[in-house]
Structure formats: C-alpha cells, structure tokens
Amino acid sequence: MPGAKRLIPTYRGTDTTVCGGAPVVIASQPGTETSPDIDIEEKLREAFARGWTVVVWNDPVNLMEYVVYVFKTVLKMNEQDATRHMWEVHLSGKSAVAHETREKSELLVHRLRGFGLNTTLEQS
C-alpha cells in the first residue's frame, strides 16, 4: 500500500537498521566486567588439602549386608573395616568413612549416593 509504514518492533539496546530490518543486539556500553580478586593459590591449596571427610548416615532402607558390600566395593575396604563402619553407622547414626582431597571426596560421595547410601561431604 502506498504510504503505509511497516511496523518493526524495537527492543531496548537494539538497532533495526542492520541486516534488513531484523533486530540486532548492540551492547550499550562495551567493555568487560571485572571480577573480585580471587587468590588462586589459596583455592588450589584448599582443593588439594586432605581436609574433606565423607560421612555416611544411617537410613531405615538399606540392609546391613548391603552397606558392607558397598563399602567394600566403592571404598575398597576389607571385610573387617567395612563391618566396623557399618556398625558405627547403625549404632551412632553416622560414620566418617574417608578423609581425602575435595575432588576425591566429591567422587566418593557421588558413587556412594549412586548405591543409595545417604552420604554428605564435610570440611574437617
């Protein structure tokens, strides 16, 4: 139609004159945002320190024999240690089963949870 105007929605921070009228986002203020100072050496020291404890909590679902089996499979414990930790979980409600680096502890927590055990990670 002659004299008709094509309406193109405009968005804040966009320019519709580029690419045949399609909206293109243009940064209103180019630049980078600075992050707070992070001490990388401190973060590395913390991550690789053996200051992380894997704690297994008691639950009413898993059988005692199954818990012993999981400890032997995941944590590579012998029968005696696995049974001792199982009884500690059963009688006192929890047991610290490993003291490792953060990454290794997170892996153990993930694997133990995969077997259905209620497990947490604590910094010691």
Domain holding 58: CATH number?
3.30.1390.10
Range of the domain at 60: 47-123
Domain presence at residue 67: yes
Q: For the chain, what is the total number of helices (H) and then of strands (E)?
A: 4, 5
> pLDDT tens for residues 86-118?
999 999 999 999 999 999 999 999 999 999 999
Domain presence at residue 107: yes
Domain presence at residue 94: yes
CB of 123 closer than 8 Å to CB of 115 = no
Whole-structure pTM value? 0.64
Span between the terminal Cα atoms of the chain, in Å: 76
Band of the pLDDT at 121, cuts 50, 70, 90?
A: very high
* Cα dist from 43 to 21, 27, 38, 39, 40, whole Å: 49, 33, 8, 6, 5
Domain presence at residue 22: no
